[in-house]
Structure formats: C-alpha cells, structure tokens
Structure 1
Amino acid sequence: MTDTPSPRSVLVIGGGTSGNSLTVLLRRAGIAVDLVEASPDWKSAAGSGITLQGNALRVLREVGVLDGIEKDGCAVDGVGILACDGTELAAHPDFRTGGDDLPAHIGMQRPRLQQLLIEQVRASGADVRLGTRATAFRQDGEGVDVTFSDGTARRYDLVVGADGLHSATRRMIGITDEPEPTGMAIWRAPAPRPAGVTRTDMVYSGRCFVAGYCPTSEDTVYAYLVEPARDRAELDPDTYADEMRRLSEGYGGAWEEIRASFTDPKVVNYACFDRLLVEGAWHRGRVVLVGDAVHCCPPTLAQGAAMSLEDVLVLAELLTGRGDWDERLFHDYHGRRLPRVRMVVDTSVQIGRWLLDRAPDQERGRDVAALMDRTMTALKEHP
C-alpha cells in the first residue's frame, strides 16, 4: 500500500484583498492554506470606497467574486474632467485594461468587497485565525517553522507576506526598504449619490489638487479631496467632517449635495500618499511577499489594488503549475512583476509631482493624459 503524500502547506499572513484572494486560488488547487490576520475584526476595511480597474476585475473573476462585485458595485465606463463650478471640460471613455468583456472599472464600497472575499475564503476551507501574528521564522531549504503570537508553532512549505505597506514580514526577513512620503494626502468619505452622477468626475483645480467622486452603488458614491500632506498629530479626528466640508467649498455641480452629507467624522478617512518599490528579490528562502508589502504608490491611476491582485495571480499560477518551489520560481515571479509594477509606481508618482508643482492646467492636463494613455494601454496585456 502506497502512502498518499500530504498536500503542500502555505501560510498567508494578512487577510486583506491580496491575502484573501491568494488563499482562495491556492485552496482551489488543493493546497492546504492557513490565513492569519492581526486584526480581530476581519470585516473592517479602511476607506469608504475602492475603484477596481479592469485588470483588477480580471483577477477577481478568477477568485470567484465578480458576480457579487457587479451586483453590489457600480460599473462605470467613462471619466469626466470638470471645472470648479461643475462645468464639463472634457470626457473620455475609460481604458478597458481587463479586456473588452469586462467593465472599464467598477466602484464599490470597500467593506462590501472585503465581505465578498471573506465569504470565498470561508467557503474554500482555509484555516483562519484572527487576532494572530507570526512572530518568528526559522527556515531551511524545505520549509519554514513559524511561531505565532498565541504561543503556537507550525511548519509550512511556504509563507506569503500579504500584510501591507508596513509589513512586519518584510522586516522580519531582512528587507530594509521602507515607504517614503510623497508630500500629498487624501480625504475620503462615503456620500449619497446625487441624481445625474453616472461616472467618475474629477476637478484638477481649485483649493485641492484633485476633487473627485466615484459611484459605488445605485445610491452611493465615495468622494475624495487631495491636498498637501499634513502632520497627522495636528489633526483632530473629531473635526474630519468639518475639514472635508471646508476643503470642498468652491466646488459646484454635484459637490453642493455631496458637501452637505459630510456630517459624521467617524466615516471620514485621511491618509498620506507613500511610495515603495522593492527593486531586489521579493523573497528570502521560503518566505515571499506580495502587494503593498513590496510596492505602493499614490492612487493617481487607481491601480494599487490591481497591482496587488496581479501579484497574487502570477504567484498562484507559478505555485500551482510547477513541481519545484525553488529559487528559480521566486526569481521568475519577481522578474514577471517588477517591470510592470515599476511602470505603475513611476507613472503614479510622476502625476503626483506634476500636481504638487501646480503646473498650468492646460500643460498639466496634456502631459497627464499622454502618460496615462501609454501606461493604461500597456496594462491591457496580461501580467
């Protein structure tokens, strides 16, 4: 009688968009997956809304949540550029980076996306532990012994760090790159969707660098205002709603109705823009990183989630398609992802610099449009 070999085992650290998606893809291939999330509240998700570009939707279709996203979100196929008073200056169709069979982008409430992914993880049979951190790794050529914050320990064939911009996993394996501030920050809040709002609209002038909103359902939008970064220690969270009302003064059109809805400071999110790109290898031995743990950029292209999801898709493809989980596999993963991610990071940061420089509107708009066209056209190719 021949013993049946045990399935390979993977520990995924981080229960956000990328960690959840990777868990589902690996479980579908019969790999045993444990997922640990530091927060005891797995359902919480920072931010009020998210823009999912076509190339993000392409991955989320593989994860099995596209139907829910289409049902609960709002598909948009155009972007408007407005003057401060709400007058339309330009309108153009958005890039279908996921292919012609997917919307250009879907806006949705971020907590709802998280819930859809949680449901898929639960259905996959993965072992999930909340309020738990990995505190130590000891690895050899065959696997990793992991110690957890609850005092338990287990051995895995592979550990994946999907624990975000301030990744503890990245630091634990000796990668010293850290995020750098870009000098910009964003205020975001949910709001009722004004009648007549059918697309993403943005203003590139006025008090803020950018004032925009994106539909997230039949009756909601998320609104955002981009300005120079401030010292968070000097901000009082109780005044966040007041600050969004103040910053949005002078913007007309739908902003009149949106502004009036900023009353609850608890639903307002303030975040600074950072840049991170780990140029060197994204692994050490049998511990590998994905998503914001190795790259992050300002959301000027709305490609942050898409880049993280593409990481997951490529890594899952390699792990499920090859017999050996060796150095070559991890170098191939890095080699496939780095050029594409670098293009997005550099483009996003450059657009931010033009906004910071307050270049004349006409010149800035022309340069931004040309750079976005080149970048988004390239992203139509599969990762």
Structure 2
Amino acid sequence: MAAVQRVGIVGAGAAGLAAAILLAEAGVEVEVLEKATEPQTLGSGITLQGNALRILRTLGVWEQVEAKGYGFSTLVLRAPNPDGTVLAVLEDIKTGGDDLPATLGMYRPDLTSILRDRAEDAGATISYGKAVTVMTDDGGSVTIRTADGGSSRYDLLIGADGLHSAVRKAIGINEEPQPTGMGIWRAFVERPEEVVRTDLTYGGPCFIAGYCPTGPNTIYAYLVEKAQERRHEDGPKVMTELAAAYGGPWNEIRSNLDHGARINYTWFTSHLVEGPWNRGRIVIIGDAAHSCPPTVAQGAAMALEDAAVLAELLIAADHVTETLWKEFADRRMERATAVVRASVQLGQWMLDGVRDADVPGLMNSLSTTLKEPA
C-alpha cells in the first residue's frame, strides 16, 4: 500500500500533471488544484531533451507527444553572418536512451493538453479556479482552503505551482527567482522547410539566435540579449531588427514575424532551494524548487524527473517518513543543482565575453550525467 491515499497537487503544469498520472495509476486519490479558471491554450514552444522524453514514455504519452512534436538528434552551429554559414553539424547525446530522439520540440499547450487528458484518464481530478490561500499541516494530514471558500484535506500536498510558487512561500522557504542578466525574445511562427532541428548562432547583436521545430509546420525562434526593459507589443519590430544580422532560415523567419506571430519577452532567472524541499507533509517540486535559464533546455526535464521520483518513493513506501524525504533529496538535489549551475554558467560566460570557455566539456559532462535515469 502506498504511503498516501489522498494527495493534493497545486498547479496543473508538467510537474503537477506527471505526479498526478503516476499516483492515480497506483490507486491514490489525486486532486489537482489549478488557480486558472480553465485550461490554458496559449503559450510558446518548449524543447524537451531525451531524459524528459524518457519520463513521458513512462507516463504513457510518448506516442501522442511524438505525433504532435518534432524530434531530432543533431545540432547545428551557424556563423553570425548574412549567409548563416553552417560551421558544424553535431550529433547530440541521447540522454533518454538510444531508442528516443536526443531532443523534441513542441507547442507547450499541446504537451499540457496531452498530460491533462492522461491524468484524467488515470483517475485524477483537476479542479479549476482553485487558488490555494491557506495550508495547515497537523503532522498527519494537510488541510487547505481556497479563495472561493472551499476546503479539502489530504495526506500530502505537492506544490507544483511554478516559479512564483505560493506553496513555497507559505511553507517558509524564502528563495525566489533572481535575474541572471539576460532577456529572451520568443516567437512562434511557421516552419521554414530548411529547419529540421535546433540551429544555434552565437554572437552578432545577440548572445544567441536560435530556433527549434515544434511540429510539421511550426517552430519557435528566439533571440537572447542583455536583459532590459522591453514591451511585448514592440516584439515584431525589435526581433526583426535584431535578426537582420543572421542569415539562412532567419531570412524566412523575419518575414513571418509581423504576420500574426505570437511573441513574448522575458528575463532569464534562476533559483535553487538548497535545503529540503519539504516542510512536513508539504513538498515543492519542479520550478517551485529550482529554475534556470533555458541555456541547456533542461527545465521541463527536471520538473518531470522530480515528479517521477517523488511518485515512485510515495508508492513504494508504507509511510511518509524522514527516510523517504532524505531519499528524495539524495536523488534530486545533486542532479538539479548540476543543471542549474551549468545553465547559469553558460550564460555568465557569454555576459563576461569569455572566449575560451570549455562549453563542449561542460555540456558533455552534464549530458553524461543526465543519461543515467533519475
């Protein structure tokens, strides 16, 4: 029998839904509490590395993800010149195993929709319009109250509510995401025929110019610059100007930026909760516990791994004990820390203009680690 019989999960993103699927499949009664009043249908692209795909296969959704997304196993480096000269085509490390692509891009709302349907099929309940305002842990259970006046009681509460986690704050963990000094423009546009994998250009007016196919007909393109105050409505103009220095597929991407492209701008941030991620029977996972710039594209993978490891431990144990929490920390802390530090280090090298940084060495070391299952 699992250590818990009834679990509340705050947040209907990838981490929360993954935990819901695995726990519900094991016979645990699961309720996902989402503050939004309905499923979110807007967003940009997401890059999923092989170790994320490995978890998605465990969740039973790999076939749907593969059909909706665009998988590939090579990476191209291009020169920051008007021709977009190809400098190298690199075989990427398949961190999910040789039978999965090294990387897959897809539309983020499609991933959430697939996971949401799977969670409900597994027996989990997803409740919308449920902003959790009060959490009380009495040592044997957790009682929550929501802004609409409702209340519920669970054996365990999982905070999977993202960067600005209300659960994290409520349990007295003070770490908050901090800017790293970079900002990113993202645009969701039509896929040029030539784009069949991620291409990266370092240098020029931006630190990084890149794009990732997200399906047969779409990509998300991104430009990374020094963080500054920007307005989303200026996106088409600013991205077109910044991208003017880059050739190859960027020529077609630029022409699509002002044709109804969905564009947003955010700053890179990072944080890591270095102590235990739980306080009694309340625990945080995913972006609530750790976040990093997308320089190594591991944010979603780390969130999915957190959910899978936590669910595995809860299902295997008879009781929620300090031993369970120690094992969770032992399996997640070092791995998440390595990802956060590598992501921040890559960005800092670019900010500092370090020209002899051992980027290949750092990436190879991290990928070798991540190839081992969480």
TM over 0.5: yes
Cα displacement (A) at 1:45: 4.8
DSSP 3-state at the match of 1:376: helix
1:371 corresponds, among 355, 362, 369, to 362
Residue by residue over 1:102-121, the C-alpha shift from the partner in whole angstroms, topping out at 9 and shown as x without a partner, is 11011111111111111112
> Does the residue aligned with 1:23 lie in a helix, a strand or coil?
helix
After superposition, give the CA deviation of every residue in 1:216-262 in whole Å (9 maximum; x if it has no partner): 1112111010001112xxx3332211111111111011100001100
SS at match of 1:247: helix
- Superposed, 1:149-228 pairs within 5 Å as 149-228=147-226
Of all paired residues, the percent bearing the same amino acid is 47
Q: Distance in 2 between matches of 1:211 and 1:150?
A: 44
- The answer for the alignment partner of 1:288 in structure 2 is 283
CA contact (8 A) 1:237 1:265 kept: no
Q: Does residue 250 of structure 2 align to residue 250 of structure 1?
A: no
Deviation string for 1:41-100 (max 9, x for gaps)?
Answer: 323353x11111000001111112110111111111100000023111112111100111
Equivalent residues in 2 for 1:277-356, closer than 5 Å:
277-356=272-351
Aligned residue among 40, 49, 53 for 2:49: 53
What's the TM-score, normalizing by structure 1? Answer: 0.94
Q: What RMSD in Å do the two structures reach over aligned CA positions?
A: 1.7
Looking at structure 1, the residues matched to 63 and 2 of structure 2 have their Cα atoms a distance apart, in angstroms, of: 36
In 2, Cα distance between the equivalents of 1:116 and 1:241?
Answer: 30
Shift of 1:159: 0.1
- Give the C-alpha shift of residue 265 in structure 1: 6.7
Could you tell me whether the CA contact under 8 Å between 2:2 and 2:317 is conserved in 1? no
Tell whether 2:78 aligns with 1:82: yes
- Displacement of 1:6: 12
Q: 2:76 corresponds to which letter in structure 1?
A: G
In the TM superposition, what is the alpha-carbon distance from 1:5 to its structure 2 partner?
Answer: 12
Once the two structures are TM-superposed, the CA of residue 122 in structure 1 deviates from its matched residue by 2.0
Which stretch shifts more, 82-91 or 253-262?
A: 82-91
Aligned to 1:25: 22
Gaps of 5+ in 1: none
The one-letter code matched in structure 2 to 1:316 is A
Deviations 1:9-57 (A, max 9, x none): 00000001111111111100000001111111323353x1111100000
Query: Does residue 37 of structure 1 match 2:28?
Result: no
2:312 aligned counterpart, secondary structure:
helix
What is the 5 A alignment of 1:114-133? 114-133=112-131
1:240/1:265 contact within 8 Å kept? no
Amino acid aligned to 1:283: N
Deviations 1:292-334 (A, max 9, x none): 0010011110001001111011000000001011222112111
* Aligned 8 A contact 1:75 1:105 in 2: yes
1:264 CA drift (Å) = 5.2
Aligned residues: 372
Matching residue of 2:9 = 12
Amino acid at match of 1:40: T
Residues 4 and 156 of structure 2 are in contact (CA less than 8 Å); yes or no, is this contact kept in structure 1? no
Whether 1:71 aligns to 2:67 is yes
TM-score by length of 2: 0.96
1:196 deviates by 2.1
Cα distance in 1 for residues equivalent to 2:255 and 2:272: 39
Is the contact made by 1:45 and 1:114 (CA closer than 8 Å) also made in structure 2?
Answer: no
One-letter amino acid of the structure 2 residue matched with residue 83 of structure 1: A
Show structure 2 runs of 5+ residues with no match.
Answer: none
15-24 vs 257-266, greater mean Cα deviation: 257-266
Moved more, 62-71 or 37-46: 37-46
Residue of structure 2 equivalent to 1:382: 373
* Closer/same/farther in 2, CA of residues 95 and 256 from structure 1, 3 Å limit: same
Structure 1 SS opposite 2:133: strand
Higher relative contact order (CA 8 A, sep 6+): 2
- In the alignment, does 2:268 pair up with 1:273? yes
How far, CA to CA, are the matches of 1:6 and 1:77 in structure 2?
39
Deviations 1:343-381 (A, max 9, x none): 111111100001111233xx24xx111110111111111
